[in-house]
A = this chain, B = another copy of it.
Amino acid sequence: MKSEQYKTYLDESELPRAWYNLRADMKEKPAPLLNPETHLPVTAEELEKVFCKECVKQELDDTTREIPIPQGVLDFYKMYRPSPLVRAYFLEKALGTPAKIYYKFEGNNTSGSHKLNSAIAQAYYAKEQGLTDVTTETGAGQWGTALSMASAFYGLKCHVYMVKCSYEQKPFRREVMRTYGGDVTPSPSMTTEVGRRINAEHPGTTGSLGCAISEAVEAASKLPNSRYLLGSVLNQVCLHQSVIGLEAKTAFDKLGVKPDVIIGCAGGGSNLVGLIAPFMGEKLRGEADYRFIAVEPSSCPSLTRGKYAYDYCDTGKVCPLQKMYTLGSSYIPSASHAGGLRYHGMSATLSALYDQKYIEARSITQTEVFEAATLFARVEGTLPAPESAHAIRAAMDEALRCKKEGREETILFGLTGTGYFDMYAYARYNDGEMSDYIPTDEEILKAHERLPKIKV
């Protein structure tokens, strides 16, 4: 063990200079986004009313394999990247497994997660387009923090709609955003039409990402020089997050190691698609084989219990329709401590890959998640975000399977962020007060029945 390397950092000269667009290597592409009124494939012109021009271009491009990272983004990336690829020696020892466990750690920046990878790209394009304001939603608060940071850097004003249950559980998250000049409104709020409508229909609701998205989109449309930026789900976000996988792949190649299983948590799906992108590319091109596992919370099981169908991305039904694994945009998941995974749907790319059987999925309960988080914190030092701990749990389960089967497999998981703003959740766990709500089949069916009827 003495001579082993714990962490692998790339030199700055080895950092990716282009994002990898996984869709370019997919034979069956994700289905196109649809206009929510006409149900026809959405045009660039329509999307540009909501999103930045360059982001729209990236959103619709499913053929260009490599998309250069602008120099302004590369410079910012260098402030907090490369992120380390870490060998979890102490976790392996604690589990007594013959498996080799690695994780790609994206939490060493003030946003506390991988979200900064896309925030800085989107803010850069917003600034280039001459915008003055941007709006967004945030669940756990990581994306809102990331976008506040990126906005401060480029001198943009950032307006964040934060899911109410997270807003209440994480008072200090708001202060970080405020320190970066962002303003934060709990969602659903009374400041937008859609917020007022949702509040009226669901009195006392703790909100959802779907609600917050609708509010942020409406707010952007009412500001004079603004667009809406989204932290997950979209193709453009998956594209920006490919920097995670590209770095990981380069590091593994340097080490001469090939992972067998690659695991990530999945809320909207962007971190997972980003992590697996170059490996999945090899699999799609028939150059190598890997197992991929998406891990989601039992309380919001989009892949494992959702339907592959066209659905609204937001509760207010103002965004384009996307074909995805979804619980239905009317589904409001129970309050949970993994706010970042509390989304009714899943990225179109990830959904298509899951539908095409390239990826496995599993769901786990909060208690299982926090058991894994606590063990990981104690043996590996880093206190993980509850979202990230979904991946830790699955990695541990895979490592224990290897132990049982006597296999020396190599496991890679994405440790997307730190839990420093999730101590309310840890307190509940430490106090033995964690609830493990699993929706009933009836609830799931009811939400499915309200999916839009689309003929494609």
Contacts and interface: CB of A to CB of B under 8 A. Distances in A.
Interface string A72-93: 0001101110000010011000
A437 interface: no
A426 B179 contact: yes
Interface residues of A, number: 47
A129 interface: no
Nearest to A427: B175
B79 A380 contact: yes
Contact of A110 (B6, B374, B377): B377
User: Which of A5, A71, A90, A110 has the most B CB atoms < 10 Å from its CB?
Assistant: A110
Given A6-B12, A78-B7, A179-B430, A424 B377 contact: no
A12 B383 CA distance: 23
B175 A80 contact: no
A381 B80 contact: yes
A449 B75 CA distance: 55
Contact of A153 (B12, B379, B382): B379
User: Which of A7, A12, A179, A418 has the most B CB atoms < 10 Å from its CB?
Assistant: A179
Q: DSSP majority for the A interface?
A: helix
A16 interface: no
A423 B172 contact: yes
Nearest to A377: B179
Contacts of A152: 377-378
Contact of A12 (B5, B75, B172, B423): B5
Contacts of A80: 381
A109 B382 contact: yes
Contact of A179 (B6, B109, B180, B374): B374
Nearest to A150: B381
Given A12-B7, A90-B79, A421-B420, A178 B378 contact: no
A90 B78 CA distance: 11
A171 B172 CA distance: 11
B12 A378 contact: no
A9 B6 contact: no
Interface in A139-155: 149, 152-153
Interface string A152-194: 1100000000000000000110011011110000000000000
A377 B148 CA distance: 11
A257 interface: no
A383 B89 CA distance: 30
A453 interface: no
Contacts of A78: 6-7
A2 interface: yes
Interface string A110-126: 10100000000000000
Contacts of A430: 175, 178-179
Contacts of A112: 420
A456 interface: no
B175 A75 contact: no
A9 B11 CA distance: 9
Contacts of A108: 108
Contacts of A424: 172, 175
Contacts of A383: 110, 176, 179
A384 B108 CA distance: 13
A381 B181 contact: no
A175 B426 contact: yes
A1 interface: yes
A172 B175 contact: no
A9 B430 CA distance: 36
Contacts of A427: 172, 175, 178
Given A7-B12, A90-B153, A172-B172, 20 more contacts: A2-B71, A2-B75, A5-B12, A6-B12, A6-B78, A75-B89, A109-B382, A110-B381, A152-B377, A153-B378, A153-B379, A171-B423, A172-B423, A175-B423, A175-B430, A176-B383, A176-B423, A178-B426, A179-B426, A179-B430
Give the 6 A-B CB pairs with smallest separation, nearest first: A172-B423, A6-B78, A175-B423, A420-B420, A152-B378, A110-B383
